[in-house]
A and B are shown apart, each in its own frame.
Chain A
Amino acid sequence: MSSETLAGVSLLKVIVMNKNYRISFAIGVSLMILVYFFPIWTIELQAPQYPEGLGFNIWAYKLTGFNEYDLENINKLNHYIGMKEINENSIPELKIIPVVIGIMLLTGFLVVKLNKFRYYQIWTILLFLVLVAGLVDFYIWEYDYGHDLNPMAAIKIPGMSYQPPLIGSEQILNMNAISLPAIGGIAPGITLLIGITTIFLQSKFNRRAK
């Protein structure tokens, strides 16, 4: 564990010891507001002829290119291998994610208000399920995007698919595709971690107190 993480856990310990786990949950839930203001995920395509960078950010409700015309240019390149156009209108998740995050925020703050340990546990499990569902959905989208190719495509390589990695980098033909969570994606992850750690420490503390 890095020193920062240790410091974080110690801080949580202090909070829990003082029976103030409410504060840590309040901080955790608040972090999720970042989802509305920062991209969740970022996909970058690296190739020698794009020294200025090429890629796009996935927000809760929209897609944006690194440069103004990047999405358009990625679609132009992808049409050679028969990939579907990446288009905001064809991704219903961009309408669903803001609502789901909104519900999590509302219920999260409600739980903080009620301040029952039991509710905290339920809410954290719910958040875990939501995030796992999101990742699975993202993987399925990537899989479909990389595998469901136009049979009329100009470039067809038997056995080749173009699915970008979930997290990490992968060489796809001439492009090195890098897929990483961004602030808006990392924030709910941290919320979850804070939740789990607080529950864990609190349970330990409660046991010791008995």
Chain B
Amino acid sequence: MKFFFNKLKFLLPVLFIAPLFFTGCPSGDLTKGDAASKVYVEPGKYDEFYLFSSGGFSGQVTVSGLPSGRLFKIISVFSQHPETGYGYSEETKPLLETSYGFVPWDDAHHPKISQTKGEADGRWLFINANNTPRIARIDLSTFETEEIIEIPNSAGNHASPFLTENTEYVVASTRFSVPIPQADVSIDSYKENFKGSISFVSVNQESGEMDLAFQIIVPGFNYDLAHAGKGPSHGWAFFTCYNSEQANSLLEVNASQNDKDFIAAVNWKLAEQAIKEGKFKTWDASYRHNKMNHETQIAESKVKKGVKVLFPEDIPGLVYYMPTPKSPHGVDVDPSGEFIVGGGKLATVIPVHSFSKMLKAIENKKFDTVIEGIPVLTYSETIAGEVPDAGLGPLHTEFDNKGFAYTSAFVSSEVVKWSLKDFKVVDRIPVYYSIGHLTIPGGDTRNPDGKYVIALNKITKDRYLPTGPELCQSAQLIDISGEKMKILLDFPQIGEPHYAQAISADKIVKNVKKLYRLDENKHPYAVKGEKEAKVIRDGNTVHVMMSMVRTHFAPDNIEGIRVGDKVYFHVTNLEQDWDIPHGFAIKGMNNSELLVMPGLTRTIVWEPKFAGVYPFYCTDFCSALHQEMQGYVRVSPTGSNTPLSFNSGK
């Protein structure tokens, strides 16, 4: 008892003083500063940056502006979106096909803007699907998903789609090792049968089209995150892995035993050479490659077979392991390309490897051991320094243009700023709460913009008006232009913003498309003018080729449809003006409405179940007479002989 009292004596003052600390020091001196003026974008004025945030479990990408935090668009990527008909319309459904069939959702984590010479160029945005391994490419002139490629021999596509400095490749890997190729084996045979794979997907520089170039089969650890080298380290890519214990149950404990796991350094230029020299095996694989056809604006899903596979045993120098404390999560390469920063989520320091030291260690064969043909380099031979006192649970690091690094610390909910010169912490700022990734415009490129860091937080609790048990996740804008970091703005995000990337708006605005040219529309069911509108019956299938223009449909009266028919509404928006979409919806529709952009044709299938007269209408308030933009379809019982007829403005 006395023992407890003695303890309490010391604790009491702490208990009283601690709350003063927490209430007395609001972050970033918001009340004193001019935060409001720094994020205020005058009505009618553009933001300086685009911010592309991953939607996490929403499967989509969110587009907002910086510094205002205003939301502009949700880009449909891996999840169906009934608002526009994405993933419901006949043209977009093929984008969501996989070798497992139609997968209309996913868990999207890491948006990456394409790069040229190590700088964000604003051509395309890539993003991974974590659950059913896929990579999507979004065209940043239309802000629409153009292509989705499935990654075979993979599970948990988390370390993806990090890209090389000229977007030669986007990468993918297995967070969950699995039997490769898949097999019906005991889960307990993990060590024997489970493997990891690291995939390189090449990107055509003209069209952006992706192609699975090769896969490297690696030991069955959990490959978590990645970054490609840049400048001097261009030609290499780095992947963190944890669970070097190879546990297959209760990983929380069993995968946290080793003092160090690894960063895998992959020499992809050597891999390219090995492919050229034919040092690969071709393995059976079947996966989908889905692509939007530019001329018809109809996506096609193609089955692809086979994949070129490389084994580290066969190609000395292909992969090295750099020991890294402890269950590392992020791996980030500084703008010079020399420093490789690990985010050891259970470590007390941030380990910083040196690329030049790594090359020397390889040259001098400073190997601790070799795992399945992969040499493990000696920790002291690659490490440039360890950043002490770097917060608890360090995850990810981005860089500014003044020689500083910014690391997110999940457990201690803070951003820690440290110097790349002496690896010492120079500033820290609390974030609210539980930060995952953070991002700086260009912060993972050779040319970062040192204006802002954006913290992406998992927990918001008391930060916004409460909305029941489910609360939004959020972004926090932090000014990093001065010596001390300052919080400027909190703004909510859609789904879970794992990672986000920001880019100077002028790199994108100049390329933005305003409409699809009707004269270039090669959709087989497009109508280029009202006179071409018609209805065709082919057995039980009916094709309605319909036009929309302010403010009517053609045809707008259709008769002769029968219960049991499969009706394809092919709807073309004849407008050629920016920001004049039209919608299409019919009563009792079992899939979704359509939102059709100017010059585009979209198709939705309707299978009426009962006889009667069904109204259809435009769902986008398009003009003064929007409410008049409507029509009727008469549905007769199966077998009836109501003649097929259609008209508009009779």
A residues sitting closer than 8 Å to B (CB atoms) are 52, 68-69, 72-73, 76, 80, 154-155
Contacts and interface: CB of A to CB of B under 8 A. Distances in A.
B474 to A, nearest CB: 32
Nearest to B576: A69
B625 interface: yes
Given A52-B578, A69-B576, A73-B577, 12 more contacts: A68-B576, A69-B577, A72-B576, A73-B576, A76-B550, A76-B577, A80-B624, A80-B625, A154-B624, A154-B625, A154-B628, A155-B624
11 contacts: A52-B578, A68-B576, A69-B577, A72-B576, A73-B576, A73-B577, A76-B549, A76-B575, A80-B624, A154-B625, A154-B628
Contacts of A52: 578
Interface string B127-151: 0000000000000000000000000
B530 to A, nearest CB: 12
Nearest to B579: A49
A155 B624 CA distance: 10
A3 B389 CA distance: 77
Contacts of B575: 76
A155 B575 CA distance: 21
A87 to B, nearest CB: 14
B575 to A, nearest CB: 8
A73 B578 CA distance: 10
B255 to A, nearest CB: 57
A123 B550 CA distance: 50
Nearest to A49: B579
Nearest to B515: A69
Contacts of B576: 68-69, 72-73
Contacts of B578: 52
Interface in B601-640: 624-625, 628
Contacts of A80: 624-625
Contacts of A154: 624-625, 628
CB-CB nearest 6 A-B residue pairs: A69-B576, A73-B577, A76-B550, A154-B625, A72-B576, A69-B577
A68 B575 CA distance: 13
Interface of B: 549-550, 575-578, 624-625, 628
B517 to A, nearest CB: 9
Nearest to A155: B624
B496 to A, nearest CB: 36
Contacts of B628: 154
B43 to A, nearest CB: 13
B617 to A, nearest CB: 17
A52 B514 CA distance: 12
A72 B578 CA distance: 13
Contacts of B577: 69, 73, 76
B516 to A, nearest CB: 12
B514 to A, nearest CB: 9
Nearest to B550: A76
Contacts of A68: 576
B6 to A, nearest CB: 74
Interface centre among A72, A73, A76 (most CB of B within 10 A): A76
A52 B577 CA distance: 11
A157 to B, nearest CB: 13
A68 B599 CA distance: 14
A80 B625 CA distance: 9
B299 to A, nearest CB: 27
A168 to B, nearest CB: 27
A152 to B, nearest CB: 10
B47 to A, nearest CB: 17
A155 B628 CA distance: 13
Contacts of A155: 624
B590 to A, nearest CB: 33
A76 B551 CA distance: 9
A189 B550 CA distance: 41
Contacts of A73: 576-577
A127 B529 CA distance: 44
B112 to A, nearest CB: 32
Contacts of B549: 76
A52 B579 CA distance: 12
A195 B498 CA distance: 76
A53 to B, nearest CB: 12
A162 to B, nearest CB: 15
Contacts of A72: 576
Nearest to B624: A80
A122 B550 CA distance: 53
B552 to A, nearest CB: 10
A13 B546 CA distance: 69
A13 to B, nearest CB: 52
Contacts of B625: 80, 154
Nearest to B549: A76
Contacts of B624: 80, 154-155
A154 B552 CA distance: 12
B547 to A, nearest CB: 13
Contacts of A76: 549-550, 575, 577
A69 B519 CA distance: 12
A38 B550 CA distance: 33
Contacts of A69: 576-577
Nearest to B577: A73
B572 to A, nearest CB: 15
A155 B550 CA distance: 14
A80 B578 CA distance: 19
A76 B625 CA distance: 12
A13 B550 CA distance: 59
Interface centre among B550, B577, B628 (most CB of A within 10 A): B577
A119 B77 CA distance: 76
A52 B550 CA distance: 20
A170 to B, nearest CB: 21
A76 B547 CA distance: 14
B453 to A, nearest CB: 33
Nearest to A70: B577
Nearest to A54: B577
Contacts of B550: 76
B372 to A, nearest CB: 61
Nearest to A77: B550
A47 to B, nearest CB: 13
Nearest to B623: A80
Nearest to A69: B576
A52 B628 CA distance: 28
A83 to B, nearest CB: 14
A45 B549 CA distance: 21
B529 to A, nearest CB: 11
Nearest to A154: B625
Interface centre among B549, B624, B628 (most CB of A within 10 A): B624
Nearest to A152: B649
A73 B577 CA distance: 7
A155 B576 CA distance: 23
A175 B575 CA distance: 20
B573 to A, nearest CB: 12
A69 B628 CA distance: 25
A154 B575 CA distance: 19
A66 to B, nearest CB: 13
A52 B625 CA distance: 23
A69 B573 CA distance: 14
A80 B629 CA distance: 13
A195 B426 CA distance: 80
Interface centre among A69, A73, A80 (most CB of B within 10 A): A69
Nearest to A76: B550
Nearest to B625: A154
A91 to B, nearest CB: 21
A202 B576 CA distance: 56
A177 to B, nearest CB: 18
